[in-house]
Structure 1
Amino acid sequence: MTAVHQLEKLPLQKIKAGPLPDRYARGWHCLGLAKQYADGKVHSIKAFGTKLIAFRGEDGKISVLDGYCPHMGADLSLGCVEGNTVTCAFHHWKWASDGACTEIPYAKRIPPKARLKVWPVLEQNQLLFVWNDPEGNPPDPRVEIPRINACFSDQWTDWKIVNWRIATNVRELVDNLADMAHFGPVHGQKIDYFANVFDGHVGYQMARGGHETLSDGELVADDAYFGPAYHITRMSANVGGNVLNSILLNCHVPIDQNNFELRFGVIVEKNPDLSDEENEKIADGYIELTQNAFRQDVEIWDSKTRVDNPLLCDGDGPVYQLREWYSQFYTDVENVKPVPRKIFEWRRSEGVWRQREDMPPEAESQLYQI
C-alpha cells in the first residue's frame, strides 16, 4: 500500500459546532465612558438580545432600564429626561430610575404592573458597567471591577476608545487569552515566555517577547479577564529609546448570539520631561498602533467559523481549559463548581507547555493588580 493510500484511510477531524447558548454571560459588561451618558439625553443600547436605555438623572446617578415601553412597545430612547424620569415619546408615560411608572397624563390610576426592569450599574475607572444575570440575581460583590489608579491620575492620558461591531459569537474573542500561537502569524510578535492562570472568576495571561510594531525591544504584557467580558492589559514597551507604559481596555457586550460590540481603549503614562502637547502626540501615535494591531484579529473573527472541537497540537495553549473556565459564566450559580487555580506555562527555550503547581512569581504579584 502506498503512502497516499495509507493517508486516505486515516480518519479526518470534522469540525463540530453545537447550538449557540440560549443565554448571555453572568457578570459585569462595560458600556464605555461614563461621561458619555451624562449629557441629559436618553441613550439606546443594543445588548443581550434586547434594547436597553441609559440616562443620568438630576440626582447625578446613571440608570439602565429596559428600552421598550410595556404600554404599546415604543422605543424609550426616543423620549426625554425630566428630573429622574424618562418620558415616553408615544403617550408620555413617565418612568423613574427605579423602574416605576410615576405618571400617565390621561389616567387616574397607574396599573400595578407598570414597572420596567432595572439593570444594576457600576461606575469604575471612568467607565460604566451593567450587570447581566439570566437568573436575576444581584451583583456578586466578590467579582466587583477592581480600581485602576492610573485612570484617576494626571500622570496618565485619558481613555481613547473605539467601538467595533463584530459579526460572531463572543467566545471567539475570549479564546485569544490562551491562543499563544496566533501572536506570531497575526501580530508579528515573538513570544519568549507565556503563562495562563485560571483562578476563580479571573483568567490571566502573561506574555514576554518582541513585537514588530509596538516595541523596539521586549514587550511586557500582563492581562486578565475579570469575569466574562472585561479585559485589561498592563503593557510596557521600548519606543524610541524610552519606556512607554500603557493600559489597554478590551471589553465586549453581546448584541445577540452572532454579534457583539467591542470597545477597545488605551491610556498612556505621560513622560514628565515632555510637554502635555508632546505627550498627547506620542499617546495618539501609540494608541493608533495598538488599535491597528487589534484590528488584525477583528478581520479574522469576522470570517472564521465556530469550532467546538478545535484540533490542537502540542504547541497550542490551554484552549480547552480556558473554555472550561469561561463556561462558569453560562451556568446557574447553584451549579457552578469551585474553580481551582490552574497554571500553564510555556518557554521558548523548552518549546513545550507545562502545567505548574505554583504561581510564577511575577504572575502572583500582577494577577489582581492589573
Structure 2
Amino acid sequence: MSTPRHAPARFARGWHCLGLVRQFTDGQPHEIEAFGTKLAVFRGQDDGRLHVLDAYCRHMGGDLAHGTIKGDTLACPFHDWRWGGDGKCAAIPYAQRVPPRARTRAWTTLEENGQLFVWHDPQGNAPDPGVTIPRMDWIDDEASDWSDWSWDSVLVEGAHCRELVDNIVDMAHFFYVHHSVPTRFTNVFEGHVATMYVESTPRRDSGMELIGADLSLRSDASYHGPSYMIDRIWQPLGDGTEAESVLVNCHYPVTADSFVLMYGVRVRRLPGMTAGQAEEAAARTAQGVRAAFDQDIEIWRHKTRVDSPLLSDGDGPVYQLRRWYEQFYVDVADIEADMLRRFEFEVDTRHAGEAWEREMAANLGRAGAPGTS
C-alpha cells in the first residue's frame, strides 16, 4: 500500500483570486484564511479601493477582520489602532505618536473581471508585468449581452491544489468521472499559460441529468498562472446556433493540504432571451459545474499524492504539465527554460473512443435486457 506524501509547505507565486469584488464592498471587513495565515479585506470609505492586510494586529494580536472600517483605515477591535491600506499604522487615538515601526503586511491587489486578486510571492518580489490576469473585454464592453457572474466556492480539505491543475491533462477521467467522451484533447503550455482544448460528446450510458449533459461541447480552457483558469465553452443547439458561456475556475491555498475552489459562470444571451433568463441559465450551468467539481472532490478525498505516476500511452502529458507548474514553486532565479518553453501534445483519442464505445454499448445492452433495471 502506498504511503501518503504530504505537499510541500511553499505556496505558489502568482495572482490568486479571493472572490468577486462585490463580496467585499458591503462596508464591513472580511476575513480570508489563505497562504497559511489570515487576511483582512476592506474597502476604504474615502478612496473606494479594496485593501488586503495581514489580519492580526502587530500591537497585541487583535483580529482586524473583526474590526471597524474608519475612513481609509481598518481599526483593531482590541485597542483601536488604525491601519491604512498601505500597511502603516495611521493613528492610535490614545497615544501621542505612532511608533515608526508600526507597520503590517499590505498585500498587492488587482481588480479584474469583477474579481479581487492578491499577489503572493515567497520571496517578496513585486508582480511581473508580463504575468497578469487577462481582461475579458469580449464580455465586459458597454454593449455586453452576457449575464452577470453566478459564483460559488467550496473548501477542499486533504488535497493539494495540484490535483485540480492536473485535470487539464487527464483525458481519461472525463469519461470515468464526468461521464463525457473526449473526441479531441490537446494541450499547449507556454510561458505562464497552460491550455486544454477539448471537444466531447456525452456518455450515452451514464443516465446523468447534469445541466448540459445532453449536449456536445467545445472548450478552450487556459490557466493564466498557477491558479486562475478561463474556460470558454460552446455547445451546439441543433438549429445552427451555439450556446456560449464562460467558466472561471480559480483557487487559493489555505494550508499545504487544503484550498478554496471557486468557480463562476456567465452565459451569453441567445436571440429572444431576456436578461433574467440569461441569469437563470447561468445559475443552472453553475449548478452543473458544482456537480462536476463534487465528483472530482470525492476522488481527491480518498486518493493519495503521487509525485511520480506510472503512465500509459493513453495518458496526457502529466510530467510536462507538472514541469510547467513547478515554475511557480521555485525562486525566480531557479526558473529553467524548459518550464517556459512552448510544448504541444495531442492525445490520440481513437483507441480510447473505440474502447469506450464498446463499454457504453455493453452497459446499454445490460440495462435493456429482461429482468434488469
- TM-score w.r.t. structure 2 length? 0.87
User: Which residue number corresponds to residue 231 of structure 1?
Assistant: 229
2:220 is paired with a residue of what secondary structure? strand
Give distance in 2, aligned partners of 1:56 and 1:17. 42
1:122 is paired with a residue of what secondary structure? strand
Distance 1:109 1:152, change over 3 A: same
Shift of 1:106: 2.2
Distance 1:176 1:102, change over 3 A: same
User: Which residue number corresponds to residue 29 of structure 1?
Assistant: 16
* Correspondences of 1:288-307 after superposition (within 5 Å): 288-307=287-306
Give distance in 2, aligned partners of 1:306 and 1:278. 42
Give distance in 1, aligned partners of 2:138 and 2:147. 9
User: Which residue number corresponds to residue 131 of structure 1?
Assistant: 119
Matching of residue 43 in structure 1 with residue 30 in structure 2: yes
Matching of residue 70 in structure 1 with residue 55 in structure 2: no
User: Over residues 302-360 of structure 1, what are the superposed CA-to-partner deviations in whole Å (9 max), with x where a residue is unaligned?
Assistant: 222111121211111111111111011000001111211011102323669xxxxxxxx
Give distance in 2, aligned partners of 1:15 and 1:232. 35
- Name structure 2 gaps, 5 residues minimum: 204-209, 354-373
Shift of 1:258: 1.3
* Correspondences of 1:151-300 after superposition (within 5 Å): 151-153=139-141, 154-167=144-157, 168-212=159-203, 213=210, 214=212, 216-239=214-237, 243-300=242-299
User: Which residue number corresponds to residue 115 of structure 1?
Assistant: 103
Give distance in 1, aligned partners of 2:6 and 2:176. 30
Give distance in 2, aligned partners of 1:215 and 1:209. 11
User: Which residue number corresponds to residue 366 of structure 2?
Assistant: none
Give distance in 2, aligned partners of 1:192 and 1:240. 19
Q: Is the 8 A contact 1:216 1:240 kept in 2?
A: no
Deviates more, 1:151-160 or 1:141-150: 151-160
Give distance in 1, aligned partners of 2:259 and 2:243. 31
Shift of 1:240: 7.0
User: Over residues 190-214 of structure 1, what are the superposed CA-to-partner deviations in whole Å (9 max), with x where a residue is unaligned?
Assistant: 1111111110100110011213542
Deviates more, 1:236-245 or 1:253-262: 236-245
Shift of 1:279: 2.9
Give distance in 1, aligned partners of 2:222 and 2:125. 24
Aligned match of 1:148 in 136, 151, 158?
136
Deviates more, 1:187-196 or 1:285-294: 285-294
User: Over residues 267-323 of structure 1, what are the superposed CA-to-partner deviations in whole Å (9 max), with x where a residue is unaligned?
Assistant: 111113122333333333233222212221122112221111212111111111111
Matching of residue 342 in structure 1 with residue 333 in structure 2: no
Shift of 1:121: 0.4
1:111 is paired with a residue of what secondary structure? coil
User: Which residue number corresponds to residue 367 of structure 2?
Assistant: none
User: Which residue number corresponds to residue 329 of structure 2?
Assistant: 330
Percent identity for Structure 1 against Structure 2 = 47
Give distance in 2, aligned partners of 1:323 and 1:15. 21
Give distance in 2, aligned partners of 1:38 and 1:24. 27
Give distance in 1, aligned partners of 2:322 and 2:259. 18
2:248 is paired with a residue of what secondary structure? strand
2:302 is paired with a residue of what secondary structure? coil
Aligned length: 339
User: Over residues 91-121 of structure 1, what are the superposed CA-to-partner deviations in whole Å (9 max), with x where a residue is unaligned?
Assistant: 0111011111111122223222110111100
Q: Is the 8 A contact 2:315 2:347 kept in 1?
A: no
Give distance in 1, aligned partners of 2:278 and 2:6. 48
What RMSD over aligned residues (CA atoms) do the two structures have, in Å? 1.8
Distance 1:148 1:96, change over 3 A: same
Q: Is the 8 A contact 1:125 1:151 kept in 2?
A: no
2:328 is paired with a residue of what secondary structure? helix
Q: Is the 8 A contact 2:6 2:257 kept in 1?
A: no
Distance 1:198 1:17, change over 3 A: farther
Q: Is the 8 A contact 1:43 1:55 kept in 2?
A: yes
- TM-score w.r.t. structure 1 length? 0.87
Q: Is the 8 A contact 1:215 1:238 kept in 2?
A: no
Deviates more, 1:199-208 or 1:99-108: 99-108
2:176 is paired with a residue of what secondary structure? helix
Give distance in 2, aligned partners of 1:136 and 1:340. 25
Give distance in 1, aligned partners of 2:6 and 2:293. 28
User: Over residues 61-116 of structure 1, what are the superposed CA-to-partner deviations in whole Å (9 max), with x where a residue is unaligned?
Assistant: 11111110011111111111111001100001110111111111222232221101
Give distance in 2, aligned partners of 1:150 and 1:41. 32
